[in-house]
Copies of this chain bind each other. A is one copy, B any other.
Amino acid sequence: TSGPDLVANDRRFANYTIFKGKAALSVSPKLPSFCKVDSGSSRVDRKGVVMMTFWPAVGQRKYDWQKKQVFALSPTEVGSLISLDPDESCEFLHDPSMKSSLEGQVKKSLSVTPLGNSSGYFLNLTVVNTIQKTNERFSIPVTKAEFAVMRTALSYALPHIMGWDQVIRPQLPNIPRSTPKH
């Protein structure tokens, strides 16, 4: 029957995107994947993240998606962002090739600094490639209202990227989701 296939194929995409003078920023959650262990149970295999995608403006209200750079926030980095005080800063450093032979070639830094007067934050992404000798910078002013959307959406997404929504699903044999009797 086609039921399960339909469900499996119907992936949905939705972002929170803000367009500013020099760049655009898109935020979207990415669920963890689970792998089967013994007796049909499963546990988190690859952890979930919140994807922050930056891409540059290349003209009046024109943005070049091909030049995008991504930064994947871990649950603890999400915790840092949503608990940030109005006059507080934070910075995250990522090496996308960590623990591989390419370690240290690319350094990504995402910093969040207050705009002042509790009016929001600057989000700055720097991607330095020491081999290609490139240094890309994205800078996005995020208003208090936009940051409130991020804070609320990230707080909502956090238990889901941690996989906790899967843990607390009712798992009771006496709640069959469908009981066709044949």
Contacts and interface: CB of A to CB of B under 8 A. Distances in A.
Given A77-B145, A83-B148, A149-B78, A10 B162 contact: no
Interface stretch (A41-49, A63-71, A101-109): A41-49
Interface in A7-33: 7-16, 18, 28-29, 31-33
A150 to B, nearest CB: 8
Contacts of A32: 14
Interface size class of A (residues with CB under 8 A): 35 or more
A171 interface: yes
Nearest to A32: B14
A128 interface: no
Nearest to A163: B14
Taken together, the copies of this chain in the complex come to 4
Interface string A113-148: 000000000000000000000000000000111111
Interface in A74-88: 75-80, 82-83
Contacts of A99: none
A145 B79 contact: yes
A15 B8 CA distance: 25
Contact of A76 (B8, B39, B145): B145
A100 interface: no
7 contacts: A8-B172, A11-B42, A14-B163, A31-B168, A34-B172, A83-B147, A83-B151
